[in-house]
């Protein structure tokens, strides 16, 4: 009996001892990047109803936090300007100390979405990323880029922590970084000459609803919120499940202090009716901004690339692209990357195109121009502006050309339709004549099959590649001038 009592007392002492030790969120650790020039949040667990003191290598000031009845605590420290100087922090609860090292101050961005954001530099099975070997060799020059990958897990309740660790970029580690995120960071780091941190919280195959909270799902969707009902609805395709991915994969990062969010998602929402996707994406952005409590942080996202979808001539892929474009117009402080030229002609059935460099770079162009003030960087793709019909010819203007088209002839991707609503391939070319009138410079479009055109489309099919771009080499967004169902 005495042995049993002694054993129980030992267990109690072990539990008390474990509670007394400081434990940090896995988002706080060696090699991390702290958001510069701000009050960055730090959090973790210690003995309940105690005080945790945080000391930094860059300041004599100390930050304190009181733990609650569960031992959880949160505090902030004023971070220094970005630099490549390694920093350290020490956490002390009066009984125990814990230090983290090789910390940098810089810019921190979230990499969210589905598999095209999750896709690493080393690629997926049968899905390579272009120039992999060269990127591995070059990674030695970018040790100031750091990344932490949150495990993609589901949870019926919001998780507070995730089993992950920050990684310093190098030839041995870069292969596991998000390719899109890494090429964003590499471009931004070159321009800003500061460290960049990436928090990767994503999951392949997820829908926009996968990341919505229970409250938003109940209020704005018909998706189930009971975990059993969710599992039953998506019994085979667990990656489509609503709520559970957000609870398990995104909730653990919400206390982090970040600069903005990068988002690459949409394939799993192809086929959504009407404006449902654009409205729900706007809802998700509002939710995340509210949860981060950092104001209207930048949200830069990627339009899905052309994809065969089982029918090259179909339009359901284009309709989702259209929804993403609409979302960019209703989400404040956002920007959209066009990817119409980010696939090769032989990648029609490749849902994970290899050219992730372009995608990451264009996200960086948006951030550099809109967030960091590099006004000379062209970050926006051309868009349709207006049209005029003269006989058998359609004349159009584009916005965001920034003074030049990339080509005058050999333009591909345009189609015309008459009153019968049947679209035919069209020939487009640059038109100009002296005089200075509004229509004295435009793009003219004709098709021998359409004598009386009423509508024009550009790359508005599941698989249709164009070659029109602006002076910055950014491709023209797919568009249509009609509102027909097909």
Decide if 121 contacts 179 (C-beta within 8 A).
yes
Using a pLDDT cut of 70, give the percent of the chain over it: 96
Pairwise CA distance, residues 234 & 260, whole Å: 31
pLDDT of residue 145: 98
pLDDT of residue 436: 84
Measured between alpha carbons, how far is residue 150 from residues 111, 185, 208, 415 in Å? Answer: 10, 18, 18, 44
Query: For residue 459, with 0-12 CB atoms within 10 Å meaning exposed, 13-18 middle and 19 or more buried, which class applies?
Result: buried
Pairwise CA distance, residues 70 & 30, whole Å: 25
Decide if 320 contacts 266 (C-beta within 8 A).
yes
Sign of CA dihedral 36, 40, 44, 47: positive
Q: Model confidence over 349-369: pLDDT tens digits?
A: 999 999 999 999 999 999 999
Sign of CA dihedral 380, 271, 289, 258: negative
**124 pLDDT exceeds 60?**
yes
Decide if 134 contacts 121 (C-beta within 8 A).
no
Q: Model confidence over 210-244: pLDDT tens digits?
A: 999 999 999 999 999 999 999 999 999 999 999 99
Secondary element (H or E) of residue 14: helix 2-20
Bridge partner list, 78: 39
Q: Identify each DSSP E strand in 71-183 by its residue range.
A: 72-78, 83-92, 97-113, 145-149, 166-168
Nearest C-alpha neighbor of 24 from the set 165, 223, 141:
165
pLDDT of residue 342: 98
Bridge partner list, 52: 65
Pairwise CA distance, residues 158 & 291, whole Å: 12
pLDDT of residue 486: 77
Cβ neighbours, 10 Å, residue 43: 19
Give the DSSP letter of residue 300. Answer: E
Bridge partner list, 388: 395
The average pLDDT across 172-188 equals: 98
Confidence of residue 187 (pLDDT cuts 50, 70, 90): very high
Instruction: Please tell me whether residue 246 adopts helix, strand or coil conformation.
Output: helix
pLDDT of residue 448: 97
pLDDT of residue 1: 44
Confidence of residue 397 (pLDDT cuts 50, 70, 90): very high
Pairwise CA distance, residues 27 & 361, whole Å: 26
Percent helix, strand, coil in the chain, to 5, is: 30, 30, 45
Confidence of residue 13 (pLDDT cuts 50, 70, 90): very low
Q: In what order do the strands lie in the sheet with 393-399?
A: 383-390, 393-399, 441-446, 427-432
Tokens standing for residue 31:
């090699």
Pairwise CA distance, residues 477 & 145, whole Å: 31
pLDDT of residue 18: 47
pLDDT of residue 20: 53
Measured between alpha carbons, how far is residue 88 from residues 11, 104, 144 in Å? Answer: 34, 9, 15
Pairwise CA distance, residues 280 & 28, whole Å: 31
Q: What is the pTM of this model?
A: 0.95
Pairwise CA distance, residues 119 & 180, whole Å: 8
Angle of helix 356-366 relative to helix 179-192, nearest 10 degrees, comes to 50
**169 pLDDT exceeds 90?**
yes
Q: Model confidence over 417-454: pLDDT tens digits?
A: 999 999 999 999 999 999 889 999 999 999 999 999 99
Q: Model confidence over 247-274: pLDDT tens digits?
A: 999 999 999 999 999 999 999 999 999 9
Sign of CA dihedral 45, 47, 53, 55: negative
pLDDT of residue 435: 85
**19 pLDDT exceeds 60?**
no
**475 pLDDT exceeds 50?**
yes
Average pLDDT, the chain: 95
Nearest C-alpha neighbor of 464 from the set 259, 307, 300, 316:
307
Sign of CA dihedral 408, 411, 417, 421: negative
The average pLDDT across 93-118 equals: 97
The set of residues, in sequence order, having a beta carbon less than 8 Å from that of 418 and lying 6+ positions away, is 450, 451, 452, 453, 454
Query: For residue 469, with 0-12 CB atoms within 10 Å meaning exposed, 13-18 middle and 19 or more buried, which class applies?
Result: buried
Pairwise CA distance, residues 170 & 348, whole Å: 33
**4 pLDDT exceeds 80?**
no
**150 pLDDT exceeds 80?**
yes
Nearest C-alpha neighbor of 280 from the set 233, 333, 216, 325:
216
pLDDT of residue 10: 42
């Amino acid at each position: 009996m005495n042995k049993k009592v002694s054993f129980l007392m030992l267990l109690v002492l072990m539990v008390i001892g474990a509670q007394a030790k400081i434990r940090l969120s896995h988002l706080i650790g060696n090699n991390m990047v702290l958001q510069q020039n701000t009050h960055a949040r730090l959090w973790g667990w210690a003995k309940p109803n105690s005080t945790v003191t945080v000391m930094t290598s860059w300041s004599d000031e100390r930050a304190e936090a009181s733990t609650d009845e569960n031992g959880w605590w949160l505090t902030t420290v004023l971070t220094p300007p970005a630099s490549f100087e390694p920093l350290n922090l020490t956490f002390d609860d009066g009984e125990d100390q814990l230090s983290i090292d090789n910390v940098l101050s810089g810019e921190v961005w979230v990499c969210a979405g589905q598999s095209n954001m999750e896709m690493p530099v080393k690629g997926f099975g049968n899905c390579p990323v272009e120039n992999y070997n060269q990127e591995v060799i070059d990674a030695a020059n970018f040790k100031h880029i750091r990344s932490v990958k949150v495990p993609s897990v589901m949870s019926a309740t919001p998780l507070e922590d995730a089993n992950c660790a920050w990684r310093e970029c190098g030839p041995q580690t870069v292969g596991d970084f998000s390719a899109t995120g890494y090429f964003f960071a590499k471009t931004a780091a070159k321009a800003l000459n500061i460290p960049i941190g990436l928090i990767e919280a994503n999951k392949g195959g997820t829908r926009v609803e996968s990341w919505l909270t229970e409250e938003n799902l109940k209020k704005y969707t018909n998706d189930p919120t009971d975990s059993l009902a969710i599992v039953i609805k998506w019994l085979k395709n667990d990656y489509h499940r609503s709520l559970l991915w957000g609870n398990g994969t995104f909730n653990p990062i919400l206390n982090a202090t970040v600069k903005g969010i990068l988002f690459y998602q949409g394939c799993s929402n192809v086929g959504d009716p009407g404006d449902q996707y654009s409205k729900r994406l706007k809802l998700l952005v509002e939710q995340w901004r509210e949860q981060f409590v950092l104001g209207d942080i930048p949200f830069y996202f990627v339009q899905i690339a052309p994809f065969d979808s089982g029918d090259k001539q179909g339009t359901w892929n284009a309709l989702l692209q259209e929804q993403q474009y609409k979302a960019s117009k209703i989400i404040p402080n956002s920007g959209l990357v066009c990817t119409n030229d980010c696939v090769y002609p032989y990648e029609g059935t490749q849902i994970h195109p290899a050219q992730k460099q372009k995608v990451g770079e264009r996200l960086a162009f948006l951030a550099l121009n809109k967030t960091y003030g590099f006004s000379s960087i062209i970050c926006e793709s051309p868009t349709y502006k207006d049209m005029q019909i003269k006989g058998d010819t359609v004349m159009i203007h584009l916005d965001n050309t920034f003074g030049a088209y990339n080509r005058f002839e050999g333009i591909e991707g345009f189609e015309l339709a008459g009153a019968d609503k049947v679209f035919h391939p069209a020939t487009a070319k640059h038109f100009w004549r002296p005089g200075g009138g509004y229509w004295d410079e435009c793009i003219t479009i004709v098709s021998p099959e359409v004598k009386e055109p009423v509508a024009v489309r550009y790359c508005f099919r599941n698989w249709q590649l164009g070659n029109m771009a602006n002076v910055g080499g950014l491709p023209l967004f797919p568009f249509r001038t009609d509102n027909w169902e097909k």
